[in-house]
Structure 1
């Protein structure tokens, strides 16, 4: 299965959730970004 050329953003205050989400989704999507602070979302690339 080819990776989709999409960007995914996961926002959660639990570092474990961010890690698991990144590990699961990076197999399917080109870019997986995580943020633990929603106020930092505008600064993401």
Structure 2
């Protein structure tokens, strides 16, 4: 596979901006240790 990032560490960044059509996180554990602001709609799964 080309273009695959296996590991990345970003330290001491004042701002990180990602502009993409789709952003997917697949992980056993996901942590965000900060205030979270989402500008956009957040779809909800249909009731089961």
Per the TM superposition, whether the score is higher than 0.5 is no
**Looking at CA atoms only, which structure, 1 or 2, has the larger radius of gyration?**
2
Between Structure 1 and Structure 2, the one with more helix by share is 1
Structure number with higher relative contact order (C-alpha < 8 Å, ≥ 6 residues apart): 1
Task: State the TM-score, normalizing by the size of structure 2.
Answer: 0.21
